[in-house]
Amino acid sequence: MDCLFCSIIKGDIPSKKAYEDELCYAFYDIAPQAAVHILVIPKLHISSADEINAQNSVYVSHIFECIPKIAKEAGITNGYRVITNCGSDACQSVKHLHFHVLGGEQLSEKMA
Ligand code: AMP
């Protein structure tokens, strides 16, 4: 399967790593939309939030356990936003589940 984020996990495509363990990988977004913009992805290919189920949700819960330390290690000290875009109306461009962690500055009140 040809998946950009699977290639990033494998190291075939370079990325700026923020965190890694056996279940997830975090790296800096190539086109940041905040002072700090990190993507956190499961090492298992899950195409979107719409594909989360009882068999793979351990990857998602683990990611949410990791996000506070990823944010802290990235220097985010005053709050952050976690977003996942799911499907075409939400403009999901990479079909591998990913959580945007945005922070490091005052964010807009608007989310859409
Ligand atoms: P989404 O639009 O929610 O699917 O988010 C995909 C994100 O992946 C965008 O914010 C892109 O800037 C980011 N992105 C795409 N290619 C790369 C890459 N090679 N390295 C880091 N971030 C990337």
The model's pTM is 0.98
Is 98 among the catalytic positions? yes
d(CA 52, CA 94): 16
Q: Does residue 112 fall inside a structural domain?
A: no
d(CA 1, CA 53): 21
Domain count across the chain: 1
What's the CATH code of the domain at 42?
A: 3.30.428.10
Q: How much of the chain, in percent, has pLDDT values that exceed 90? A: 97
CA-85 nearest atom, ligand 1: 3
Supply the range of the domain harboring residue 42.
4-103
pLDDT band at 62; cut points 50, 70, 90: very high
Which of these is catalytic: 37, 96, 98, 100?
A: 98
- What pLDDT digit, counting tens, does each position of 92-107 carry? 999 999 999 999 999 9
- What pLDDT digit, counting tens, does each position of 83-92 carry? 999 999 999 9
Tally of CB atoms within 10 A around 56: 14
Task: Kindly state if the Cβ of 31 falls inside 6 Å of ligand 1.
Answer: yes
Strand partners, 101: 38, 82
pLDDT averaged over the chain?
Answer: 97
The 80-83 sheet, strands edge to edge: 17-20, 24-28, 36-42, 99-103, 80-83
Q: Does residue 47 fall inside a structural domain?
A: yes
pLDDT band at 28; cut points 50, 70, 90: very high
Side-chain half-sphere exposure of 97, counting CA atoms within 13 A: 20
- Compute the distance from residue 29 Cα to the ligand 1 centre, in Å: 6
Q: Does residue 109 fall inside a structural domain?
A: no
